[in-house]
Amino acid sequence: MFFSLSLGVGIIITYAASSQSNQNLFKSALWVVLSGILIAIMAGLMIFTFVYEYNGAVGGGAGLIFITLPVMLSHLGIWGNVIAFLFLIAFSFAGITSAISLLEPAVMYVCETYHWSRAKATWSIAGGISALGIIIICSICTPMADYLTIGGKTLMDSIEFLSANIIMTLGGLLAVTFIGWAVPKNQLQQHTAHFFNNIAFTLWYIIMRYIAPLITIMILVAVSIKFFTGEDAVDFIFTSLGL
């Protein structure tokens, strides 16, 4: 959820800072969330129905995209190869557009703080990320895999977990905590007055102040338990209680 909606990494906040003052941010966010959920459900139904049809191994992330789906599509013969090729091309474009969004918070910060040109900031940050990415990729390739491990896990697995589960979730927690507890309530009312009435604002404010931080903390605890123990949070709790 955090990854697909780009939450907790500053992208949405950076885009919002560049938006018009009278833009209906709630309506924009609603369209993004609802379309994301709908597309995710459709993709899940198609992908996993196809995987189960051919008794494929169900996984997530890179394994699903680069291993499971190509193997499953190979059952369709030449058309499967064509679909796999087109899918990976589309996926590469998705990666490029995502990279632009991911770069924007750092680029904007460097430009505003150190007065660099956008071209200089973009190429410098992209170069540093690419160098780090090469090192991470080497952690799943022999013979470097034996040296690039953390706690018995490859550097790729560790970075993937930290970025997708800990860093993004923690960033989301800090964001909702800042909005709910640090920003004065009257300022929030002023910024949202053109799309929130009093009732809607009160409900949204309660969610941002209490409900969203609580749910985010629960997610953070659950993924941490999963990573360090290998068990689901519910199973871990019942096991710890002897139930």
Judging by beta carbons within 10 Å of its beta carbon (0-12, 13-18, 19+), is residue 64 exposed, middle or buried?
A: middle
Closest CA to 10 of 100, 98, 90, 104: 104
pLDDT of residue 203: 96
The pLDDT tens digits of the residues spanning 2-61 come to: 877 778 787 877 777 778 878 888 888 888 889 888 988 887 887 777 777 766 555 556
Query: What is the pTM (predicted TM-score) of this model?
Result: 0.77
Q: Are 103 and 8 in contact (CB under 8 A)?
A: no
Q: For residues 83 and 106, give the distance between their C-alpha atoms in angstroms, rounded to a whole number.
A: 36
Residues 6+ apart with CB under 8 A from 224: 165, 166
Rounded Cα gap, residues 127 and 121, in angstroms: 10
Q: How far is it, in rounded angstroms, from Cα 207 to Cα 48?
A: 34
